[in-house]
């Protein structure tokens, strides 16, 4: 579910002097991309009104996206890549104007890689409700003010409906593959069940068939951390001066989330009981290295994300139940016809392997029969973002078939 950058795989990178300098200023009230900011490599499509499962349609929706490669003559080479909770459309490429971090899947997208633009037309939209160019709480409502806390409740199905309208707008009626990890995996699964005729191949990476009570509980305490920040101001913080937005609550939510993205083994092996400063935490004044790691990533996160978007997107995750109003999980999954890869990670404590076992058991097109592919990795849930060689080999099995 995490949006990772290359330094996350390097134990010492978060304590470099350049990182300290870059993050020393007060964070903005919101890290959302806003009209007038440098678009970077983003492009934008207006998809009009989006009907919602609950409430009135959302008017005048924009989807931001990036793409690599060209759509071939018969439109048969399009691959939809759906990002995780805190991700965006920047799959590959450097950090720079418009893109606060480098691409989150650069090891898998590019020349000679599994998603090679010479072969595939790779499309990555920012999801509805996000904060990196697509319509979300930081966008202007019809009254000219930010939606803020007025932004409607979204479900995973609402987000997939927006992606369907986006697909129509760019001329893709059938995807050669829909690939998603974590929250993006929820959406990919929804694509295959809701629109089986439009999905040729499916990759569900580290995602569950439903959001469990445990996962909903984890989201609830993160959201409460944001709402309790005085700077949240009921969601109306966009005009606050730097340093007065809800960055403390958002950073705390991020720190909580990170504990579920990585495995206990990795954190223990990586940090042990070492401390970051010259003073031991046992004597006061110092901090353990793992505390410094969490603090760095919480601070960094506030500079590229929006607190209201975090609330909207975690609520959408909580809505996920592929079997809702469809006769249960098994009946729903039986609708999917795509050739499928279901991938789990043995150390994932956010969406553990039993969830992928349920999905694999009921997808008739699963390339491994009735079991998922399970990767062995110390990195926990985030392995699908870090283990490029392992994940790439499995995606190649799917795409080559």
pLDDT in tens, 343-376: 999 999 999 999 999 999 999 999 999 999 999 9
Residue 303 phi, psi dihedral angles, 5° rounding: -90, -5
Res 127: pLDDT: 98
Provide the pLDDT confidence category of residue 221 given band limits of 50, 70 and 90. Answer: very high
Res 11: pLDDT: 37
Tell me the catalytic residues: 182, 348, 381
Looking at domain 6-400, what is its CATH homologous superfamily? Alpha/Beta hydrolase fold, catalytic domain (3.40.50.1820)
Q: Is the torsion defined by CA of 384, 389, 391, 395 positive or negative?
A: positive
The crossing angle, in degrees rounded to 10, of helices 307-318 and 156-169 is 110
Residue 204 phi, psi dihedral angles, 5° rounding: -110, 110
Residue range 13-27, pLDDT digits in tens: 344 444 444 455 688
Res 282: pLDDT: 67
CA distance 122 to 75: 12
**Model pTM score:** 0.92
Residue range 88-147, pLDDT digits in tens: 999 999 999 999 999 999 999 999 999 999 999 999 999 999 999 999 999 999 999 999
């Amino acid at each position: 579910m995490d949006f990772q950058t290359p330094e996350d795989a390097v134990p010492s990178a978060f304590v470099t002097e350049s990182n300290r300098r870059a993050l020393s200023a007060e964070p903005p009230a919101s890290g959302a991309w806003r009209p007038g900011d440098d678009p970077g490599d983003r492009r934008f499509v207006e998809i009009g009104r989006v009907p919602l499962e609950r409430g009135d349609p959302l008017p005048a929706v924009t989807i931001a996206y990036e793409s690599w490669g060209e759509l071939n003559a018969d439109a048969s080479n399009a691959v939809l890549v759906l990002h995780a909770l805190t991700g965006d459309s920047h799959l590959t490429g450097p950090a720079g104007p418009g893109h606060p971090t480098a691409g989150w899947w650069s090891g898998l997208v590019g020349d000679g890689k599994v998603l090679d633009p010479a072969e595939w037309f790779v499309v990555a939209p920012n999801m509805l409700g996000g904060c990196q160019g697509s319509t979300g709480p930081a966008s202007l409502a019809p009254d000219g003010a930010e939606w803020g806390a007025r932004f409607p409740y979204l479900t995973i199905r609402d987000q997939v409906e927006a992606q369907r309208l986006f697909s129509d707008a760019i001329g893709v009626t059938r995807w050669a593959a829909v690939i998603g990890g974590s929250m993006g995996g929820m959406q990919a699964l929804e694509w295959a069940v809701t629109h089986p005729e439009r999905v040729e191949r499916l990759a569900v990476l580290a995602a569950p068939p439903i959001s469990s009570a445990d996962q909903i509980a984890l989201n609830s305490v993160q959201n409460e951390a944001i709402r309790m920040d005085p700077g949240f101001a009921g969601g109306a913080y966009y005009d606050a001066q730097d340093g007065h937005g809800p960055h403390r609550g958002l950073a705390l939510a991020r720190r909580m989330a990170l504990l579920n993205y990585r495995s206990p083994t990795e954190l223990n092996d990586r940090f042990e009981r070492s401390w970051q400063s010259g003073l031991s935490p046992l004597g006061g004044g110092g901090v353990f290295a793992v505390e410094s790691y969490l603090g760095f990533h919480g601070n960094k996160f506030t500079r590229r994300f929006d607190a209201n978007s975090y609330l909207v997107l975690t609520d959408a995750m909580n809505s996920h139940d592929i079997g809702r109003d469809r006769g249960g999980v098994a009946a729903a999954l039986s609708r999917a016809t795509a050739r499928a890869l279901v991938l789990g990670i043995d150390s994932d404590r956010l969406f553990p392997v039993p969830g992928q076992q349920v999905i694999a058991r009921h997808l008739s097109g699963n390339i491994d029969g009735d079991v998922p592919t399970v990767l062995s990795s110390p990195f926990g849930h985030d392995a699908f973002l870090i283990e490029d060689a392992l994940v790439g080999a499995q995606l190649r099995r799917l795409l080559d078939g």
